[in-house]
Amino acid sequence: MPPLPFILHLCIRTYTPYSILDTLMKPFTLLPLALLSLSASAADYFPPPDAQGGWRTPKDKAEARALAGIDLDRLEQAYHATERSNTENGGLVVISKGYLVLEKYFGKAHRNANPDMASTGKAFTSISCGLMLQEFKAKLPDGLDTKVFTKEFLPEAFPLRDPREADIRLGHLLCMTSGHNGEGATPSAIIRGTAQPLKPAKGQDIHDVDGSSLRTPLWTAPGEGYSYSSPAPHIASMVLRRVTGKELPAYIDEKFGKPMGWGPWGYCLYRGDVTMAHANGAGSIALHSTDAARFGYCLAHNGRWKDQQLIPADYIKLCQQSLPYNPHFPFSLQFEHNQAGQILGAPRDAFYKTGAGGFCLYIVPSLDLVIYKMGGKDGQWNPELTRIPQPADNFGTHTEPPAPPKNGAYETYSIPRILEMVCEATVR
């Protein structure tokens, strides 16, 4: 049934002179406009930089429930699970409907730290590539279908080491289906949902991250299987460097960091006596916790920040669904996604990117929810990795995790389980 003001509008418009009509309709027109204004105000909220006040926060449990749609008692359970996730350091930052409803840390973690977020940084590489495809469409008219092992985009790759490289598309690199061998001592691959072991192969070398990525061998033809291989997204970042004429950190700072108001940030370029020549597109970005949440909030809001469309909305949609480049595993454009509903306690539009040590940035647009889970060994919180001053601060709450049980291990709370627990704390 149409709303009452609309029905009255039809009846009165039929039988009443306009002068009387305007008087009668004024209360009904003002009310929807007022409600619309309130709704628009909530939808248009974007936090100022931390230095200018930062995220808004609810004053108590009642306000958290009424304004942010969160049950703080249930949310606390998700934090306790984070404390027990077998990491020496960590924390949990949760943004619901634009409200900072939880900010807690343990170990070396704190808001103004710049930890090595490990592979969570791959998400930033992917989103940068998505913007590149829009900004430089004339150079990349085929978009994700662009074959990138050409002298135009990757002259460093010639002569090609494997003829199959000529068929690698940008979409393959960003979906981990380029054929590059998986990493680690026991790499694996997935073909149409079936896992299989791979032989170990030499991967990235911080002394020459570009060359070592290009030298990583292919285990299969592009598109024929999924294997988590860090050289792939780094090669995508090399293409970005060539197309945009900018280093990855400079491009991210211009397009995302400055518009969103990030504080000091960088990449972990300093590894002992080695200074990396380029940022690794495979990860190791280092943001303040509340700025990582800003990035997730922009993704949750279809790439919009205030009056700017920073990220193409259609690219974000692609991150949330299976793509032809990867029919093997629910991983698209560097994000795991829940399109098939395999994470039972989370909406199907949820998507997220993990990082070694227990890091993860989750985005759930349908709930207007962003979750940033931190983790990591002590080395990942070493300021020398970025050489950015990281003074101690008292933002949020700092806790002491309970001592591990006698067997030396906490309970195991998986990355998907933390997502489910936070979603369970939402009030719908």
Residue 359 within a domain: yes
pTM of the model: 0.89
Residues 271, 412, single domain; the answer is yes
pLDDT higher than 60, residue 316: yes
Residue 391 within a domain: yes
- Domain containing 413 — which CATH number? 3.40.710
pLDDT of residue 386: 98
pLDDT of residue 16: 32
Residues 325, 419, single domain; the answer is yes
- Amino acid identity at 119: S
Residues 114, 218, single domain; the answer is no
Please tell me the total count of domains within the chain.
2
The pLDDT tens digits of the residues spanning 142-201 come to 999 999 999 999 999 999 999 999 999 999 999 999 999 999 999 999 999 999 999 999
More confident residue, 256 or 10: 256
Residue 23 within a domain: no
Residue 259 within a domain: no
Residues 155, 93, single domain; the answer is no
- Average pLDDT over all residues of the chain: 90
The predicted model gives 283-298 an average pLDDT of 98
The pLDDT tens digits of the residues spanning 191-231 come to 999 999 999 999 999 999 999 999 999 999 999 999 999 99
pLDDT of residue 277: 97
392 exposure class (CB count in 10 Å sphere: 0-12, 13-18, 19+): exposed
pLDDT of residue 85: 83
Residues 355, 410, single domain; the answer is yes
Residues 234, 299, single domain; the answer is no
Residues 208, 193, single domain; the answer is yes
Residues 410, 350, single domain; the answer is yes
Band the pLDDT of 4: cuts 50, 70, 90. Answer: very low
Residue 233 within a domain: yes
The b-or-e profile of 364-389 (16+ CB within 10 A means b, else e) is bbebbbbbbbbbbbeebbbbebbebe
pLDDT of residue 411: 55
Residues 370, 388, single domain; the answer is yes
The pLDDT tens digits of the residues spanning 14-60 come to 323 323 323 323 333 333 433 333 334 456 899 999 999 999 999 99
Residues 68, 209, single domain; the answer is no
pLDDT of residue 404: 66
User: What is the distance between the alpha carbons of residues 280 and 119, in angstroms, rounded to a whole number?
Assistant: 10
Residue 271 within a domain: yes
Residues 298, 418, single domain; the answer is yes
Residue 249 within a domain: no
Q: Which domain holds residue 222?
A: 124-242
Residues 157, 111, single domain; the answer is no
Residue 35 within a domain: no
The pLDDT tens digits of the residues spanning 108-130 come to 999 999 999 999 999 999 999 99
The pLDDT tens digits of the residues spanning 375-409 come to 999 999 999 999 999 998 999 999 998 776 665 55
